[in-house]
Amino acid sequence: MKNNVFYYSTSSNAFQMEGARNLHGRTDSIWDWYTKTYFKIPPNNSTEREINSIEVASDFYHKYKSDVKIMKDLGLNAFVYNMDWTRIFPKDENYVNPMGLQFYDNLFNELSKNKIKPIPILFHWDTPMWLEIKGGWTSKEILPAFRNYCSTVFKYLGKYTDVWFVNDENKSFTLDGYLGNIFPPCKNSPSDFVKAIHNLNMSAAIAKEEFLKAKNEGYVSEDSILGIDDDWSPPIVWNNGNDEKQNEDLINNYNAWMRDFWIDPNIKGEYPKVFWDYLKENKLDANILEEELSYLQKFKLDFIGWNFYRPYFITNKNNNVDIKLLHKEPVSYSFGDFVVVLPKEHKNYTKWLWPIYPEYLEVGLKAYKDKYNLPIMIIENGFGDFDDKSNELILDIDRINYLQPILESVNKCRKLDLNLFGYSMWTFCDIFSPSAGYRKDYGLVSVDFNSQIKERKPKLSYCYYKNVIMSNGEDTNFDKERLVKELSNLLINWDILWK
């Protein structure tokens, strides 16, 4: 990647957006199984978790051409997309589904024709069910299958882009799906957790080896880069006393577990000490072979993606915190010296109790620069809400209020030489959320999920982000009345072919 272009993008994910789950040779992933098995619809306006069908979702599979038109009008010069392994390899590690591959070729070609760079992510939580039956990420059988997937994708799609990611949010995937049971595959097993994370790390090194082969064979350009995407939340020490050394130790322990552990193996080629101590203390066998540690060291990734939504307030595990000071019980893990808390004294939260604290975007980027000094792209940042879609104009002003200081900080950080080369907003249009189904709106574009055609409609935030992009990030301020006029005019000319 040689150019100095800054990427203004949106991000999305196949199982949350694509639909067409049983069409053209595709079979189930673990998220198909999970949403069918644990289907649940809470009352309206409740923040209780909804687990809904992903059979159609936002129907991006059929609507990608009109969606790309909308992306072009928005002014995007990139689109981050988490691909669907199962659509390309629906039954075993050797059979390539031509129609699955054709869909991504069509999508990437359509994006490229409209001067929007595809930025693919190879894996985001949706293990093929045929592989899960063999043990999924707890079994080394998954690694040759992932190698074939990588080599196939690089061979047939490598010509479209020079920016790639292997994995997205290994932390959420394994903490909630392997150490816990609220995401598939619902293992709730420390033993499965450590095996899964090591195999995920190995998969990234395998991807890098295949990436280098693809460069030698001319499938991927020589200057292409391959990264890993993580969702570290910078820490804020809360109610932990005034001992500076104690607080520094707490932050270091938190960062070792909640940042370093998830990216060091693929960025530095090694596990942090806390992981080896955890294995020893808990008598766990992660099935790590000596030659695999050398392999991680040999095939390190090139850059970092960061999903920034919020910081975490933390305090020491041994503190007796008055629950009356918190919105809910502290969250603790089987590792680390910290717990995550939601103090009432912080007044700015989303409806899902995610702290709003835009200052920590700069704090986080500086921390990444200090530790890794690699190129970095913000891959996810956005605002989940109950958007009012009852009127002609969707005036999601709370989303704009959230985004404005974030985008102001992005522009500042570009000038501070923090290695930042792109910002991608979560997400393009309303989609299925793993934590809240279809009731948690994230999109700049509304999707009418009650419509047979999943009709699209821009929100006020669409006009806001469009203006920011037009100014190359320099003008992040907004005037509500002016934006409302722009949205009204946009809807007058909203071509039926875009809906």
* Angle, helix 460-470 to helix 480-492, in steps of 10 degrees: 100
Distance (Å, rounded) from C-alpha 478 to C-alpha 492?
21
Q: Are 196 and 125 in contact (CB under 8 A)?
A: no
What is d(CA 430, CA 448) in angstroms, rounded to the nearest whole number? 9
Q: Kindly tell me if the per-residue pLDDT of 345 is higher than 80.
A: yes
Q: Going by C-beta distance under 8 Å and a sequence separation of 6 or more, which residues neighbour residue 478?
A: 400, 404, 464, 467
Beta bridge partners of 89: none
pLDDT at 498 over 90: no
In the chain, % of residues over pLDDT 70 = 99
pLDDT at 316 > cutoff 80: yes
**pLDDT greater at residue 45 or residue 224:** 224
For residue 299, give the nearest of 211, 199, 219 by alpha carbon: 211
Confidence of residue 1 (pLDDT cuts 50, 70, 90): low
Q: pLDDT, tens digit, for every residue of 350-402?
A: 999 999 999 999 999 999 999 999 999 999 999 999 999 999 999 999 999 99
Please name the residues in contact with 107: beta carbons below 8 A apart, sequence gap of 6 or more: 64, 68, 81, 118
Q: How far apart are CA 151 and CA 147, in angstroms?
A: 6
Mean pLDDT score, 109-135 = 98
Beta bridge partners of 331: 340
Superfamily for domain range 7-231+304-310+356-498: Glycosidases (3.20.20.80)
The pLDDT of residue 331: 95
214, pLDDT greater than 80? yes
Residue 415 clears pLDDT 70, i.e. is over it: yes
More confident site: 243 or 459: 459
pLDDT of residue 254: 98
Mean pLDDT of 253-264: 98
Mean pLDDT of the chain: 96
For residue 16, which of 169, 243, 151 has the smallest C-alpha distance?
Answer: 169
pLDDT mean over 294-307: 98
**What pLDDT score does 2 carry?**
60
Per-residue pLDDT of 33-81, as tens digits, reads: 999 999 999 888 788 888 999 999 999 999 999 999 999 999 999 999 9
Query: Which of 156, 204, 163 lies closest to 77 in space, CA to CA?
Result: 163
Beta bridge partners of 339: 315
Q: Which two tokens stand for residue 333?
A: 């893990």
Q: Which residues of 153-182 are buried (b: 16+ CB within 10 A; e: fewer)?
A: bbbbbbbbbbbbbbbbbbbbbbbbbbbbee
- What's the pLDDT score for residue 472? 97
Average pLDDT rounded to a whole number, residues 104-119: 98
Structure tokens at 205: 């090194």
How many other CB atoms are found less than 10 A from the CB of residue 72? Answer: 16
Distance, CA of 214 to CA of 302 (rounded, Å): 15
Pairing relationship of beta strands 303-307 and 445-447 according to DSSP bridges: unpaired
- Mean pLDDT over residues 425-453, rounded? 95
| pLDDT score, position 45 | 76
Task: List Cα–Cα distances, 374 to 165, 311, 353, 370, in angstroms.
Answer: 14, 21, 32, 9
Q: What percent of the chain has pLDDT over 90?
A: 93
Q: Which pLDDT does position 60 carry in this prediction?
A: 98
